[in-house]
Amino acid sequence: MTEIVDESLMLQYAQGDGHAFTALYTRHKDSLYRYFLRQSATPELAEELYQNVWNKLIKARSTYQVSSKFTTWLYRIAHNELIDHYRRHSTENKVITLNVEDKETEVPNETEAGYLADLQQKNIDEQLHLSQQASHLRWCLKQLPRQQKEAFLLKHESGFTLNEIAKLVGESSEGVKSRIRYGITKLKHCLMHKMGKV
Amino acid sequence: MSDKFTDHDIVRLYREGATEKPSAELDAKIFALAKNPVETKSQIPLQSASPIKKPALYQTWYGQLSTAASLVLVTILYLHNSDSFNEPADNANEQATNQLMEIEATGLSSIKETEQPVNNSLQKGIKQKVSIKKRSQKQVSNIMADSTLPSASSDNETTQLNKVKSISQMMPEDALEVRTDFNKIDNLLATEQSEKARERLTELLQKYPQLKADLHARYMNLLK
């Protein structure tokens, strides 16, 4: 079965087709939600920003034109929303991040519990080990500089190419490549440190 | 997993742990917004407008600052230019004072008669201080010239009116001189020194021939 491309769905939605929006939303909601969740101080804030992005998309539906990929357009709105938020709450954000760091190192949350359930077949030691690693990785990701974190997420969470990311954030693709490389290196070091392997 | 992580390990580990999803409530909220965008449009301005109330200009620091700056500027400009505002009025007063001194210098009996008009002229000069901008220098001098006319007798009134017609067209300094001469001639006539009065009038008419045009009959008779 051939999937209708995002751009066509968006044009259909612009003409009043509600089902087209449902299809679009279902395709992109999870990665977009995690994009905000990883870069926000609290899940509540992530939800607020996430909702704002869809809200803007809904309002802009009548003016939508297929000049680039739908996902590029969607994540550009998301990127701008995030930047606006950082500008508005630059000092507040630092304080909240510190608090969240402490929470994250303690106990896995509800979603992590679901993640644990998927690993029931593996032996318990390995499950614990993996879940601990994933938890540590999330913590380490939170510690990355904002640009490196965003570049990593756009590449490995949302599946953009380097060129697309460069276009989206207004940087050169070489710059984006460096950000991702530095980001992954820092994640490795951080993870090693957390796991006590250094 | 080995002791050292590779790029692939990091990405795989991230993807295995990335299972978070938006809540069903959030999904429902967004679907509702998408289905009924008209309501959204009307709700958004209300939400954004209510918490932020724009203060009046005078309540803001920039409004108050600009008002204060404007007042300071106007005050400085006024103080800086106050000399030029007062200058014409001072001139008018000065002229009136000069005329008074001139008349006093004549030392004649008509002084008493001229006192009142001179005082009037001084008062007018003071009044002109207030509204001097609107008056031209010529108007000021005319007014001053008119107010210095002696108004002793009804017989003289027509003479003075005749004087005004031609004198008012003269320069202020000349007009003053002519008036003084006419006063002297009047005084000479009053003391029955007709010869001296004729000489004086002849000299005056030689100096200012334009006065002949509207000279009063009394002076014309004197010349004959």
User: pLDDT (tens digit, 9 = 90+) per residue, B44-97?
Assistant: 443 343 444 567 888 888 889 999 999 999 999 998 888 777 666 556 666 767
Interface size A-B, in CB pairs within 8 Å, comes to 91
What pLDDT score does B213 carry?
Answer: 79
Closest CB to A21 among B4, B7, B34: B34
Tell me, yes or no, if A50 comes closer than 8 A to chain B by beta carbon: yes
What pLDDT score does B115 carry?
Answer: 52
Mean pLDDT of chain A: 81
Interface mutation target, options A10, A28, A55, A177, chain B, most CBs of B under 10 Å: A55
Interface mutation target, options B15, B29, B30, chain A, most CBs of A under 10 Å: B30
d(C-alpha A161, C-alpha A173), whole Å: 9
Angle at B94 between CA B93 and CA B99, to 5 degrees: 100
Interface mutation target, options A59, A110, A129, chain B, most CBs of B under 10 Å: A59
**Whether the predicted model's global pTM rises above the 0.90 cut:** no
Q: Give the mean model confidence (pLDDT) for residues B157-170.
A: 56
Domain boundaries, chain B: 86-223
Q: Give the mean model confidence (pLDDT) for residues B112-121.
A: 55
Number of CB atoms found within 10 A of residue A104's CB: 16
What pLDDT score does A3 carry?
Answer: 65
Question: Would you call B18 and A54 a contact, using CB atoms and an 8 Å cutoff?
Answer: no
Per-residue pLDDT band for A106 (boundaries 50, 70, 90) equals: very low
d(C-alpha A166, C-alpha A147), whole Å: 11
Closest among A197, A166, A181 to A68, alpha carbons compared: A166
Tell me, yes or no, if A156 comes closer than 8 A to chain B by beta carbon: yes
What pLDDT score does A151 carry?
Answer: 92
Residue-wise pLDDT for A4-54, tens only, equals 788 889 998 988 888 889 999 999 999 999 999 999 888 999 999 999 999
What pLDDT score does A107 carry?
Answer: 44
Q: CB of A160 within 8 A of CB of A154?
A: yes
What pLDDT score does A123 carry?
Answer: 66
Tokens of A105: 């190192």
Per-residue pLDDT band for B126 (boundaries 50, 70, 90) equals: low
Within 8 A of B22 by CB-CB distance, chain A residues are 29-30, 33, 47, 50
d(C-alpha B6, C-alpha B17), whole Å: 17
Closest among A155, A114, A189, A40 to B14, alpha carbons compared: A155
d(C-alpha A189, C-alpha B210), whole Å: 113
Question: Would you call A192 and B5 a contact, using CB atoms and an 8 Å cutoff?
Answer: yes
pLDDT at A78 over 50: yes
Q: Give the mean model confidence (pLDDT) for residues B130-152.
A: 48
Residue-wise pLDDT for A152-187, tens only, equals 999 998 889 999 999 888 889 999 999 999 999 999
